[in-house]
Amino acid sequence: MRSAVTVSLTASAVLAGGLFAGQAQAAPAVPSITAPGGFVMNNGTGTTLFGKAADTRRSTGSTTKIMTAKVVLSQRGLNLDSKVTIQKAYSDYIVSKNASSARLIVGDKVTVRQLLYGLMLPSGCDAAYALADKFGTGTTRAARVKSFIGKMNDEARKLGLRNTHFDSFDGISSGQNYSTPRDLTKIASSAMKDSTFRTIVKTKSTKQKVTTKTGGYRYMSWTNTNKLLSTYSGAIGVKTGSGPQAKYCLVFAATRGSKTVIGTVLASPSEANRAADVKKLLDYGFAR
């Protein structure tokens, strides 16, 4: 009888040991990424899941446009269907800066909603300029743009971000446009509370009917620069960025089941490295 009990206990111990060993092996290894800076959090709880130089200030490139969109969408009494006439100054700006463009045409009347698509999908700096001009205050275009950038910095302060500053509406900086992986993730998390923002940033492509100068219409087709939407299951956004200083950046988010993981990588050395880093971080975030 004693022998049977011993065998039974030993078998139980082996099973338990195997179970605990299996649990230990299931703990995901912290990923190694090539990007100098990265941060990931659980969007529902705000819990930090990963950080690498998460509070180091870096150039942000076009991920800046997340805040541009957030400022527009936070305007009191916003009418997304109000129309903005495209000015020559916007196209001149694109040419002078060799900037990414939504290919807006001078004289066309484009709704605020359409400008937001032009801002976030093809990363149109012309759309960013149009929105800054529309939603800034002042009697001159320069004053309105300055006012709008001030609103971007006000929003950063409201979010309690101490390592973020904007000097442009699109990320084309004069030296004082910076943020961190943690701060950008928090900006995106806040922006994602807005249903219009969520709808736009998860859109892979869109065709928009705009009114021409002569009262006719044309269609504008825009494709999202965020390839994650097509390459990672559950991806829902958010925004790419690139540039000589910023290198390759991405603020990303994905949802699986009831869990949303959101994060940022800054200054990846290549687009391929950026994609690999983000996949590692999302996989890790969902495994945690």
Which residues belong to the active site?
Answer: 62, 65, 123
Residues 6+ apart with CB under 8 A from 131: 68, 72, 84, 112, 115, 116, 119, 148, 169
Residues 248, 133: Cα–Cα separation, whole Å: 28
CA of 102: how far to CAs of 79, 96, 288, in Å? 21, 15, 38
**Angle subtended by helix axes 88-97 and 125-135, to nearest 10:** 140
Residues 6+ apart with CB under 8 A from 97: 125, 172
Beta-strand ranges (E) seen in the chain are: 37-42, 48-52, 83-85, 109-111, 205-211, 217-223, 235-243, 247-256, 259-268
Asked whether 65 and 239 are in contact (CB, 8 A), the reply is: yes
